[in-house]
Chains A and B, each alone.
Chain A
């Protein structure tokens, strides 16, 4: 498990406390609380997992079990741009894998890694985004791009980087 120091651990613990206030202390509150943490930090920092376990009086192992079971949760930090390539059946049949390879090449990901060294990009595949009519589909930070080709997605990433440069 990655153990990245939170810039301000105290604020993280306060965040968990607020979430616990919102959802309550029953075991069924665990998943919503983890979802809050995931949304805020874009991963589940180890310290906050432990804190959630203490707050709900659950064994840390159970919390870890839930955190690793569901695909929505990540124990590793994600890049600034989270690129999801849909590899559901419809997208697969309409050739989503060449699109995936093109993205990996464009952001220079090698050796099976999914996040770039500079933490700019994380590239993943997902089972189905439910936009099968527009296959193949890619989302970048939840914005949906339909009917993608290797060329089209490369151009979109070019544009993103251009916008980055302007900021």
Chain B
């Protein structure tokens, strides 16, 4: 889309867009292309010869049990983080929307975790869930009688990184749900109330359906967040351990490529992740477009 009334200049528009284009070419497209090319290459680690090997890197990847395990871990991790943070975020937002007084104060008290870095969220929860000193782990051990040890037990470690990642995301979801709830016309709710629908019934039959676009959007953003932005959480809390129990895909790319210097495999993993995020983005835009047409 463009304005009806525009300026004419031969060079100015190019000059204006130039910085953006230079940066995207150098730091986005060229590296992405390099990664793509390299995912079809086999190079020896001393930087000598490279050889074109077609899809060998990908075949190796998808027959590697460690990689398959990482896929399962990532999906489980992502599902848990999204479910937990969306449920809590929606619940608190619904309550905050009901609260007649002190809305501003409530919002202030709830949005600041958005500003906490994932890595710092990891540090806070590392202490809370520390096997010997943590207060939450103390509660788990004494009240639930579970032998809590995230350093040794994979499932405990996964739970730990899920808690740290979901906690940070609650406020993000809260902001969107509050905005979504406020956009729902009160007349609809009032009409249903006059017809005698209980508050819970109104929530399920009016609020939730009208909130579904927000819900969809927030779900997509939470999945992207848990796939890509939780690197800091993993790095500070578990470094992918114990035994790969928290080694999500993004962390594995870093480990194999940057620490292990396995260029071919790391590039192939990057390409897999790229395909994934392209799919998610395209799906999201398709959905948004449909919604716009529906409304207009």
Q: Do A and B come from one complex?
A: no
Chain B contacts to A: CB under 8 angstroms: none
Please list the residues of chain A having a beta carbon within 8 angstroms of any beta carbon in chain B: none
